[in-house]
Structure 1
Amino acid sequence: MNAVQRPVNKHKAYHAHVYFDEHSVTYAAALCAEGGERFGLQIGRVHEKLVGPHPRWSCQIIFGTRDFDALIPWLDERRNGLSVLVHALTGNDLNDHTLYAYWLGDSVELNLAMFGG
């Protein structure tokens, strides 16, 4: 089994997907909203269903290298046990969700079939 890769600031753009369930949806939504306000970032919808390759409910934070060094430690400190997928946006979805996938907390196996993986 591969070790979980921690986020590294070596890409131009990223998504952070905060994973949650019915017990943590309120906390996760507030965390994403606060991150968006604090750092001036675009926040996606709070999905209480499976979307894309994500095997859990999630909310997306969109950010770039400029915000990385402030956002990632802030998010890690406040995630309260939630798993967060941080992945690059290179234009290659399979690589972004495998080679360039980083984790805060426990990693979760993604549904890569949609990328042909």
Structure 2
Amino acid sequence: MPEITGYHAHVYFDAHSQTVAQQLCEKAGRLFPVEVGRMHAKNVGPHPRWSCQLAFAPDAFDQVIPWLMLNRQGLTIFTHPETGQHLEDHRDRAIWMGEMLALDLTIFDRTGT
């Protein structure tokens, strides 16, 4: 069984919701031990919308996820574990808040990396 070494929460936004997403990500970074990534105003990796990544350790899950659930302000948030099995982490082990979107999983090779 793989070990979860961390989590990524990807906050999706568009041109109209970018400010709300940025404020949400910055606040999460102030409140929790979260590494706030760049605001990508383009699709990056498997993500079908613009996004900002929040990275955090397993011991922060019980603080970060409930807070995002209650404060996402209508934004879609895609969260997945980090086990080193990237395909499975994105396809089979994800948590969606809001609209479930199709990811571009073709970027992961058959080994899941």
TM-score for both structures, normalised by structure 2: 0.90
The ranges of structure 1 where at least 4 consecutive aligned residues each deviate by more than 3 angstroms after the TM superposition are none
Cα deviation, residue 40, structure 1: 2.6
The 5 Å alignment of 1:1-117 reads: 11-116=4-109
Matched pairs, number: 108
Q: Which runs of 5+ in 2 are unaligned?
A: none
Matching residue's letter, 2:94: A
Distance 1:95 1:37 in 2: 30
Q: Give the % identical residues.
A: 48
Cα deviation, residue 65, structure 1: 1.6
CA contact (8 A) 2:8 2:53 kept: yes
Q: Which runs of 5+ in 1 are unaligned?
A: 1-9
Cα deviation, residue 105, structure 1: 1.4
RMSD: 1.4
TM-score for both structures, normalised by structure 1: 0.87
Cα deviation, residue 44, structure 1: 0.4
